[in-house]
Structure 1
Amino acid sequence: MPGYRLEGSFIEACDCYTVCPCWVDDDPDEGHCTGLIAWVLDPGSEIDGVDVSGCTVVSVSTHVGNRRVTGTATVLFVDEEASKKQFKALRQAFAGRLSGPLAGLATVSGEVIAEEQARITITERRARWSVEVVRDGGSSAVRASGTPRVFEDATRPLVLQATALSPELGVPEEPAESAGVTAQAGEGLTVRVGELPGGFVQVTGRSGMRGRFGYAHPRRPAVRAGEKVAAGNGRG
């Protein structure tokens, strides 16, 4: 059975307000949600022996109503610098097709209707961040940017812990510096993904989240047929 060990950071942004209701398992603002999740993989990340350190993945999704009830449609982008082996491993992982804790991503991605490589640029300068996905041919599929959401008279941004999405997105519960997700004030979000219903969005001042993620699933050696029979015969 394939195993994996993935760690890194993610950025989430969508066209909902303040905090996307998906984080608390509620219906999206205005009855629909279009957004993205961008993952950046740390050194040491691997999937079934394939080193995916430094790779980036972006999923762009849409859904109407509560995502757990109505389902989600997703287009998955993998960094164009990824090799064929890395691309295959990453699309399996982030579409939620592997067993173990990564399987929870299937409830976030829903129906993955397309998987492709693209030029992905993720920048983080001090508190500000930006994400851009450019498809083959030069068309921009995604542009998003934002900063931590700090409320009036507060000195630190809003941090949410134990959210509805935390287990599926692999948000660690500890140590304290990695636990929880930090709410973001989206400066701008543009999505142009024609394969998705509602996949054309251009908004400002919406929501986002940033946090750490981690998934670990040990590789299990295949058991030969003869060994299975032997184990079965050994029962009392």
Structure 2
Amino acid sequence: MINHAFGYEEVVEMGWNLDGVWTESCTCSITCPCNLNEDPTYGNCDVAFCFHITSGQVDGVDVGGIPVVWTVNLPGAFTAGNAMARLYIHDGASQEQREALEPIFHGKRGGVWEVLAGIVKEWLETKYAPITVEDGETTRTVTVGDFGQIVAEPVVDHRGEKALLMEPPLLTPLSVQRFEISRGAGTEWRDPDMKAWSGVHAGRTKFTWSSEPPATDEAGMAAAAV
């Protein structure tokens, strides 16, 4: 927000809040052991997250309706860090919206992303691409231009009820209480600057985040939902 009260332009940070739908897929088996604070199935984890913001604002800028995708190549456990990562922001976002969102997901505006961004050793340049989020009868598909797609098909029991992971240790600090265990078959990532991979695990949930700082435990990871 620009404050003109004293005859000059001053950027006033009002804080931010984001609500939306989270879809992920990675190379681990179903369900990804990283969500249980265990080591990845095959020693490393390549993962793509889509955070489809349904409502939210950053310093008074409306950012509702914008999908943001975060892709990460992890050489080991999620909490061990040393990752290479890239953001992809929907190319339909205005310049003002882009400038509002990128610092949040790079961990520069507080909240849970100050913790999450800490696992990244190398940030690649943000890309702006068409991002579509399609919900079929059972399967959700997120397509990110020519870079790849995330597919999440819920695992169900004999009654057709979705399998849920309740309060997963890695995710509860990120406001996740109920996590839909899904299959990621069909997920493919092919960014030429990053490792190419195909998904096995997938999951779906919702998120509610704000610029309020999360509590942290002794290991420095978030320990309470924001």
Deviation, structure 1 residue 115: 0.8
CA contact (8 A) 1:8 1:40 kept: yes
Residue matched to 1:201: 197
Aligned residue runs from structure 1 range 206-217, under 5 A: 206-217=200-211
User: Which residue of the other structure, out of 34, 37, 40, is the alignment partner of 1:22?
Assistant: 34
Residue matched to 2:10: none
Deviation, structure 1 residue 185: 1.1
Q: What is the total number of aligned residue pairs between the two structures?
A: 200
Give the structure with the higher percent helix. Answer: 1
Question: Percent of pairs identical after alignment?
Answer: 25
- Cα shift readout 1:93-148 (whole Å, capped 9, x = no counterpart): 122221133323314555322212111111012321101111xxxxx111232310
Distance 2:120 2:65 in 1: 22
The TM-score normalised by the length of structure 2 is 0.81
User: Which residue of the other structure, out of 80, 88, 95, is the alignment partner of 1:84?
Assistant: 95
What secondary structure sits across from 2:181 in the alignment? strand
Aligned residue runs from structure 1 range 178-197, under 5 A: 179-196=177-194
2:171 counterpart of 1:160 = no
2:64 counterpart of 1:66 = no
User: Which residue of the other structure, out of 1, 4, 9, is the alignment partner of 2:21?
Assistant: 9
Letter paired with 1:77: Y
Change (3 A) 1:211 1:101: same
Aligned residue runs from structure 1 range 47-196, under 5 A: 47-107=58-118, 111-134=122-145, 140-151=146-157, 153=158, 155-171=160-176, 179-196=177-194
Distance 2:38 2:51 in 1: 24
User: Which residue of the other structure, out of 41, 46, 61, is the alignment partner of 2:53?
Assistant: 41
Residue matched to 1:227: none
Distance 1:193 1:42 in 2: 26
Distance 1:85 1:121 in 2: 21
Deviation, structure 1 residue 83: 0.8
Distance 1:110 1:126 in 2: 39
What secondary structure sits across from 2:185 in the alignment? strand
Output the aligned Cα RMSD: 1.9
